[in-house]
Amino acid sequence: MADQPRRPRTLSDARTEAEAAFKRATTKKAEAPPKTNAVPGVREQVTLRIDQDVLAYFQEGGPGWQDRINEALRKAAGK
């Protein structure tokens, strides 16, 4: 094969090769996000939209309404 003459490169050949090389260099396999273990007793601040009547129900009991909502959600989740 060393005796065969090389054909001249065309612009489309060079572009195709460059695009293929770029694709190989920039394409990454999607990695799964690392799994995090829930640490007991650690809370995370979130924004949650709750109907006004539901919020009023939990706030009627005074301070600790957020803990009561948390317990109700925990119970609903089966934990």
Q: Which of 14-18, 25-29, 37-41 has the highest mean pLDDT?
A: 14-18
Least confident of 7-11, 27-31, 56-60, 73-77: 7-11
Alpha-carbon distance 41 to 56, whole Å? 26
**Residue among 39, 40, 42, 50 at smallest CA distance from 73:** 50
Alpha-carbon distance 45 to 60, whole Å? 22
* Distance, first Cα to last Cα, the chain: 71
Burial class (CB in 10 A: 0-12, 13-18, 19+), 66: exposed
To the nearest whole percent, how much of the chain has pLDDT over 90?
35
